[in-house]
Structure 1
């Protein structure tokens, strides 16, 4: 039986959609892309990968804040 991880499928769709030309996008197309990215974020957030991304983002943010002082 073939199983597909929904988060991986959404990540592939996001990359495929973002490779398209910006000028060719309609408002609906942009909203659809935003909705897919939000769904991907909701699926990734509780996973270990999502927690790692959150940790790295926090470290970068604190590093930039300290560098700006």
Structure 2
């Protein structure tokens, strides 16, 4: 039985879409990429990887805030 992880499939789609030349993208294409990335974020968020990304981004934001003072 072959199972496909939807989050992994969305990562492949996002990478494929972002590799295209910027000049060739329409507004609809950019909006669709944003929706796909949002869906990927929703799928990754409750996982261990998602929590790790959240922690790293939180530490980065905290460091930037402290550096600005």
Whole-angstrom distance in 1 between the partners of 2:26 and 2:64: 35
Deviation at 1:68, TM superposition (A): 1.1
Corresponding residue for 1:50?
50
When the two chains are superposed, the root-mean-square deviation of aligned CA atoms in Å is 0.6
Aligned residues: 69
1:1-69 correspondence runs (5 A): 1-69=1-69
In structure 2, list runs of 5 or more residues that go unmatched.
Answer: none
Report the TM-score when normalising by structure 2.
0.96
Deviation at 1:28, TM superposition (A): 1.1
Whole-angstrom distance in 1 between the partners of 2:27 and 2:58: 32
In structure 1, list runs of 5 or more residues that go unmatched.
Answer: none
Report the TM-score when normalising by structure 1.
0.96
